[in-house]
């Protein structure tokens, strides 16, 4: 079992006082921050771009995982690398050339994540399974924080873990959307090890550390029960 990571999503951070929330995430012992990039086309919401990622980079040494929910991600990879991204995740639904985009990210020297929407079957990533560092299974439809976890994704997580094992592939399984103290143990039991949470961490301000620790404990309880 890979190490369980709780990854706070900046989508629910206070953008009027980003440094305060980032410091809080650091104090929790988070190893990375999740940055949701939305363009109003691939998803119905708009968030921020490389400029803000660069500002976040200047505020912390934490790894920055950039989740691109934009059309034509290939056009913006370099900009996010220059801004200080530590990892880039693209959506499998983004176009016919997922393999090419993966190669481009690797060529820029970064670990690669591939995300799949709730309606996208796992076979969409079958042929690139050995090329990725992280598989991000969306547990809500991307676009907004604070949505309800789609429990039909649990068997998909189990299947992804199996697929990886059968292929001898070595990647993290991340879940994104609706992660709270109730759903955290469920996704860990199913095989996820990276739990991205916005409303469940920053959304609990001012009790960010309490919320982070509660999520971590909930996630880890699923492991210790198995052991
Ligand atoms: C949703 C984003 C998520 C979002 C999760 O499209 O990709 O990263 O921050 O938010 P919560 O944890 O609030 O469901
Ligand atoms: Zn995300």
As a whole number of Å, the end-to-end CA separation of the chain is 11
Distance of CA 173 from the midpoint of ligand 1 (Å):
16
DSSP one-letter code for 135: E
DSSP one-letter code for 128: G
pLDDT tens, residue order, the chain (227 aa): 789 999 999 999 999 999 999 999 999 999 999 999 999 999 999 999 999 999 999 999 999 999 999 999 999 999 999 999 999 999 999 999 999 999 999 999 999 999 999 999 999 999 999 999 999 999 999 999 999 999 999 999 999 999 999 999 999 999 999 999 999 999 999 999 999 999 999 999 999 999 999 999 999 999 876 65
14 is catalytic: no
Distance of CA 36 from the midpoint of ligand 2 (Å):
5
| Cβ neighbours, 10 Å, residue 132 | 24
Q: List the strands of the sheet with 194-197, edge to edge.
A: 5-8, 194-197, 172-176, 134-138, 112-116, 87-91, 63-69, 32-38
- pLDDT the model gives residue 73: 98
152 is catalytic: no
- pLDDT the model gives residue 224: 75
Tell me if 113 CB under 6 Å of ligand 1. Answer: no
For residues 160 and 173, the answer to whether their CB atoms sit within 8 Å is yes
- Nearest CA owner, ligand 1 atom 1: 142
For residues 13 and 34, the answer to whether their CB atoms sit within 8 Å is no
For residue 66, list its beta bridge partners: 35, 88
Query: What protein residues have CB closer than 5 angstroms to ion ligand 2?
Result: 36, 67, 176
| Choice from 11, 33, 118 to test ligand 1 binding pocket (greatest atom count within 8 A of CB) | 11
| Cβ neighbours, 10 Å, residue 39 | 17
Instruction: Please say whether the structural domain 5-226 has been given the CATH code 3.20.20.70.
Output: yes
Q: Which of 3, 7, 12 lies closest to 175, judged by CA?
A: 7
Distance of CA 196 from the midpoint of ligand 1 (Å):
7
Taking the CA of residue 94 as centre, how many other CA atoms within 13 Å lie in the half-sphere pointing to its CB?
26
Q: What is the 3-state secondary structure of 25-46?
A: HHHHCCCEEEEEEEECCCCCCE
Taking the CA of residue 113 as centre, how many other CA atoms within 13 Å lie in the half-sphere pointing to its CB?
27
Query: Tokens at residue 189, please?
Result: 């039991």
DSSP one-letter code for 74: G
Cα separation, 43 vs 54, in Å, equals: 22
């Amino acid at each position: 079992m890979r190490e369980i990571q709780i990854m706070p999503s900046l989508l629910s951070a206070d953008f009027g006082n980003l440094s305060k929330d980032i410091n809080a995430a650091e104090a929790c012992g988070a190893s990375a921050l999740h940055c949701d990039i939305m363009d109003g086309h691939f998803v119905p919401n708009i968030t921020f771009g490389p400029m803000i990622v660069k500002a976040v980079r200047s505020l912390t040494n934490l790894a920055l995982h950039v989740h691109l929910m934009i059309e034509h991600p290939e056009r913006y990879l370099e900009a996010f690398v220059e801004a200080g991204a530590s990892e880039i995740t693209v959506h499998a639904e983004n176009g016919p050339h997922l393999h090419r985009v993966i190669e481009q990210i690797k060529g820029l020297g970064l670990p690669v994540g591939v995300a799949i929407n709730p309606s996208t079957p796992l076979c969409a990533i079958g042929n690139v399974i050995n090329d990725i560092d992280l598989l991000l299974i969306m547990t809500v439809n991307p676009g907004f924080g604070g949505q309800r976890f789609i429990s039909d994704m649990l068997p998909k997580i189990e299947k992804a873990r199996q697929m990886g094992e059968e292929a001898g592939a070595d990647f993290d399984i991340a879940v994104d959307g609706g992660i709270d103290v109730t759903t955290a143990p469920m996704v860990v039991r199913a095989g996820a090890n990276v739990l991205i949470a916005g409303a469940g961490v920053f959304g609990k301000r001012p009790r960010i550390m309490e919320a982070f620790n509660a999520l971590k404990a909930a996630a880890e309880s699923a492991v210790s029960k198995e052991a």
